[in-house]
Amino acid sequence: MKNEFDYQDVPYDFAHCFNDQCTQADNCLRHLAAANSTSIRKFLPIVNPACFPKEGDDCPFFKSQIKKRIALGITNLLDNVPHKMALQLRRQMVSHFKKTLYYRFQRKENELLPEHQLFIKQLFKQNGINEEPVFDSYRESFDW
């Protein structure tokens, strides 16, 4: 499965890899970025060719091209949970993420990465809530 790729999304400091001989090149995000690089940027960070792995070795710089499902917003997350349980869940999330990050999630200033989503899902299960947590919105994104 090929993911849609827009070179404009590549972070400025993301290292590109021009190693066409690498066995993992077809699935590597660094190689994909290099293959789609444009003349707009005159200089780009690259993986040092002197550090390329020996043939047959796994590459320590490999980044998967598989997109991750990112969630945004928790404003309605606890709407279908009984009030007393919602207070407890909120307290547990604030304790885990700390107040600043929790409120950034709520104001949609920070994305909920898959590991954050998993923590909240496990928190729901631990508290006897069988319903899947539903976030405000979702999008697919490369893991830069």
pLDDT of residue 1: 40
**Is 87 within 8 Å of 135 (Cβ atoms)?**
no
Whole-model pTM: value is 0.73
For 40, phi then psi, to 5°, come to: -60, -45
pLDDT of residue 3: 57
Query: Where on the phi/psi map is residue 12: left (φ > 0), alpha (ψ -120 to 50), or beta?
Result: alpha
State pLDDT tens for residues 105-141.
999 999 999 999 999 999 999 999 999 999 999 999 9
Helix ranges (H only) for the chain are 29-35, 83-106, 114-126
Distances (CA, A) of 118 to 88, 100, 122: 18, 19, 6
**Is 19 within 8 Å of 51 (Cβ atoms)?**
no
Distances (CA, A) of 76 to 31, 65, 110: 39, 31, 16
Mean pLDDT of all residues in the chain? 92
Amino acid at residue number 104: R
